[in-house]
Amino acid sequence: MRQGHHTEHQSLTRGVRRRRSPSAVRPGNRRSSWTGPAGNAGARLGGGQTRFDATMAPEGDDPIALLMAPPHTVVDVELRTGEPVDVRLEHPVPRSSLLSFPFVGATLGHREPSLGPDELIEEAVRVASAADVAVVVVATTKEVESEGFDRTSLKLPGRQDELVSRVAAANPRTVVVVNAGSPVEMPWREEVAAVLLTWFPGQEGGHALADVVLGRTEPGGRLPTTWPGVLEDCPVVDVTPVDGVLRYEEGVFVGYRAWERSGTAPAYGFGAGLGYTTWHYESAEHADGTLTVWVRNTGDRPGREVVQVYLAPAAPDESRPARWLVGFAVAEAGPGETAEVSVEIPRRAAEVWSEHGWRLVSGDYVLQTGHSLDDIRLTSALSL
């Protein structure tokens, strides 16, 4: 995020227009950024000094991606205190094969002199080494993650991975807060004391994060997706439609089901997540389509546990996943207390789709109950 970022927007729909903006009231390197669609673009300072003159081309041919994440460039400019400078931006209106009408949208922005990436990382290391606890917030950006285009990588943008590793080396009590809407690679995950996933929390995210980090509130969520160590470990990576059709070649082996079939261990499995207490799974009983589970809080503070139940065929069947989630329930209890939860086990959980509709696959099954897919505590036999 850029602090003090001043942006001027000029929509060009006819010919070439010019935008002059007085700037530069402080000395040093001022960084200017230019964002726009494909075509020839030029940026010049007063006196005829050209700072950028090139063709900006988008990646791919997706018009939505072009509008939501247009190509951009950044240049550094040496300026003197108190000396106004005219900035002229020129961009002809091109004919585009992606749009049926000529259109140019441009953004010219600038920010004041600031420390470079090397200096900022060194400053973070210095501060972390003198702190009791270091909290590092990392995030994806709108340029790499959006509902309007597919991601090309699971890596955090910029030098954030380096930042975390350097800070963790300086302070072993480092907590990393991941502000992302979907899985990212975390090569430093074994180097830090804790990882807290906040997703995209909204305007009250700061207050919520403070409550969790300070221990006022327990982080009670569980992963609804599988998080890989690296993108190449994912069982499915090709999500590009062919002739307008996206085929699910993996069939019913979607998500964690495909991970289990591949045999590759992820960084964090489906349903994983920690709180501020511990739990003992005492027993589970199935009767009349309902599984009742008793869990006991073995920690020293109140807590919340998400009890998860998976259904697995007793005999392996290569045409079906090894197991699948059939239900879950939330248990809350104080220190030393026992909580009881009930999870419905519907007939539909053992049905498969056929040309005649849903069909029950009769036979013996096992109900697996636990903290997550990779942390099963209890098993119960079931015949359907």
Q: Among 104-113, 277-286, 319-328, 360-369, name the one with the lowest average pLDDT.
A: 104-113
Distance CA(164)–CA(277), nearest Å, equals 26
Reported confidence tier of residue 94, pLDDT bands at 50, 70, 90:
low
Question: What are the structure tokens assigned to 178, written together?
Answer: 């991941």
One-letter amino acid of 279? W
Q: Tens of pLDDT along 231-288? A: 999 999 888 889 999 989 999 999 999 999 999 999 999 999 999 999 999 999 999 9
* Geometric angle at alpha carbon 272, from 267 and 273, rounded to 5°: 110
* Higher-confidence position of 73 and 320: 320
| Whole-number Å distance between alpha carbons of 327 and 346 | 9
Question: Residue 34: is its pLDDT beyond 60?
Answer: no
Per-residue pLDDT band at 45 (split at 50, 70, 90): low
pLDDT tens, position by position, 118-172 = 999 999 999 999 999 999 999 999 888 988 788 889 999 999 999 999 999 999 9
Task: Reduce the secondary structure of the chain to three states and give it as a string.
Answer: CCCCCEEEEEEECCCCCCCCCCECCCCEEEEEEEECCCEEEEEEECCCEEEEEEEECCCCCCHHHHHHCCCEEEEEEEECCCCCECEEEECCCCCCCCCCCCCEEEEEEEECCCCCHHHHHHHHHHHHHCCCCEEEEEECCCCCCECCECCCCCCCCCCHHHHHHHHHHHCCCEEEEEECCCCCCCCCCCCCCEEEECCCCCCCHHHHHHHHHCCCCCCCCCCCCCECCCHHHCCCCCCCCECCECCCCCCCCCCHHHHHHHCCCCCECCCCCCCCCCEEEEEEEEECCEEEEEEEECCCCCEEEEEEEEEEECCCCCCCCCCEEEEEEEEEECCCCEEEEEEECCHHHHEEEECCEEEECCCEEEEEEEEECCEEEEEEEEEC
Q: What percent of the chain has pLDDT over 70?
A: 81
Q: Which residue has the higher pLDDT, 131 or 42?
A: 131
71 pLDDT exceeds 90?
A: no
In this predicted structure, what is the pLDDT of residue 43?
61
Confidence check: pLDDT of 180 > 90: yes
Please give the pLDDT value at position 16: 30
